[in-house]
Amino acid sequence: QQTSEMDHTDNDCLLITVLTHGELGMLYAKDTHYKPDNLWYYFTADKCPSLAGKPKLFFIQACQGDKLDAGITLTSRTETDGFSGSSYRIPIHADFLIVFSTVPGYFSWRNTT
């Protein structure tokens, strides 16, 4: 919350990285647990106007369950996506990129070596 109250006029973006333990809908800290959306709650355009229109990036490395994703083998593919637009109004959650290391319900792996 303290960081959201600062003046970010001279900053180009916000980047927050969290590496912790967790379960579905919950992250663990040393002495408490909290919902992941508590990380970005204070950085919406209405609460932190000096970051409005600037990228806000959140990378979360934590388990979200106990399932194991065995994965599959892929062959290469090409995908293109085009978008063009004109004047628009942004929602308060615009410019957010929220990345979890796994999908809900699954383990998250990290290499400790």
Catalytic residue among 8, 33, 48, 63: 63
Report how far apart, in Å, the C-alpha atoms of 46 and of each of 5, 23, 93, 98 are. Answer: 12, 29, 9, 18
Catalytic residue among 21, 33, 48, 93: 21
Active site residue 48: no
Closest of 17, 47, 10 to residue 110, by C-alpha: 17
Report how far apart, in Å, the C-alpha atoms of 55 and of each of 11, 16, 93 are. Answer: 10, 11, 10
Active site residue 21: yes
Q: Any idea which residues carry the catalytic annotation?
A: 21, 63
